[in-house]
């Protein structure tokens, strides 16, 4: 396949990023590594990225102002659509709470991070999963219900553990701080969830994969950033229409 032929086959993917930019950087690297692995040579992905300012969004999260956040991300999706994106991903787990609004505003297919994660787990024949993420992701239906509807049984940490897992995400990981003490804490939380019957663990925050690797867990790890990026690669190559659905499905 020539370079021009391969490039012509790529679809343009829009990425709504910046939440945090540290994890968006991982998306950019993983998607381009995936394209290079598929096409070789000097190939890279046809991407459009709109990186939002995370500080106002985090403040709105603390206020529970999801309508306002939905408008911000919907505007981002519309900007990417106007720039030529043919599909979208939101490069964060938590902000999939407003995925419906983004998809409706942009009129573009949107790949949902929880859906492709559930598919990846089921392909391994697993059903009893632990879920780590922000307080919103671990406790609210916008994320957990999609996993449950896919046939998974979801276990989450206890209240005190959830608070500390959440604190580490916002006060450390989203600010580029990777502390060994926090790695050890996450390891213990995962071990506790495994004792409760979890057979694998979803790293349901796109920053957790910066801290926790497969070697850190006694059970299989499903890194949502890597899974989402892999699905993005397939879309760019025109191989993953089935992964893209209306966010309200």
Q: Which residues are catalytic?
A: 92, 205
Could you count the other beta carbons within 10 Å of the beta carbon of residue 245? Answer: 14
Distance from C-alpha of 58 to C-alpha of 49, rounded to nearest angstrom: 20
- Helix, strand or coil, per DSSP, at residue 217: coil
Could you give the dihedral angle defined by the CA atoms of residues 25, 27, 33 and 35, in that order, rounded to the nearest 10 degrees? -130
Instruction: Tell me whether strands 13-17 and 87-90 are parallel, antiparallel or unpaired.
Output: parallel
Distance from C-alpha of 234 to C-alpha of 180, rounded to nearest angstrom: 34
Could you count the other beta carbons within 10 Å of the beta carbon of residue 41? Answer: 9
Distance from C-alpha of 193 to C-alpha of 91, rounded to nearest angstrom: 26
Q: Look up residue 182 and give its two tokens.
A: 């926090």
Region of 14 please: left (phi>0), alpha (psi -120 to 50) or beta.
Answer: beta
Distance from C-alpha of 185 to C-alpha of 1, rounded to nearest angstrom: 48
- Bridge partner list, 245: 110
Spatial contact of 66 and 48, defined as CB atoms under 8 Å apart: no
């Amino acid at each position: 396949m020539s370079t021009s032929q391969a490039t012509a086959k790529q679809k343009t993917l829009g990425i709504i990023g910046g939440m945090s930019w540290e994890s968006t950087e991982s998306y950019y690297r993983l998607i381009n590594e995936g394209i290079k692995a598929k096409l070789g040579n000097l190939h890279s992905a046809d991407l459009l990225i709109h990186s939002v300012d995370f500080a106002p969004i985090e403040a709105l999260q603390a206020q529970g102002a999801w309508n306002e956040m939905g408008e911000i991300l919907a505007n981002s999706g519309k900007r990417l659509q106007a720039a030529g994106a043919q599909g979208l991903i939101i490069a964060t787990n938590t902000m999939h709470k407003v995925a419906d609004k983004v998809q409706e505003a942009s009129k573009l297919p949107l790949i949902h991070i929880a859906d492709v994660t559930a598919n990846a787990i089921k392909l391994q024949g697993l059903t009893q999963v632990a879920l780590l993420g922000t307080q919103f992701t671990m406790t609210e239906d916008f994320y957990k219900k999609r996993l449950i509807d896919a046939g998974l049984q979801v276990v989450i940490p206890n209240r005190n553990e959830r608070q500390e897992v959440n604190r580490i995400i916002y006060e450390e990981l989203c600010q580029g701080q990777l502390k060994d003490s926090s790695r050890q804490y996450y390891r213990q939380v995962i071990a506790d969830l495994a004792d409760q019957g979890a057979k694998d663990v979803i790293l349901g925050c796109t920053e957790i994969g910066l801290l926790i690797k497969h070697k850190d867990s006694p059970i299989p790890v499903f890194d949502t950033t890597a899974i989402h990026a892999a699905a993005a690669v397939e879309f760019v190559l025109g191989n993953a229409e089935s992964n893209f659905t209306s966010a309200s499905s």
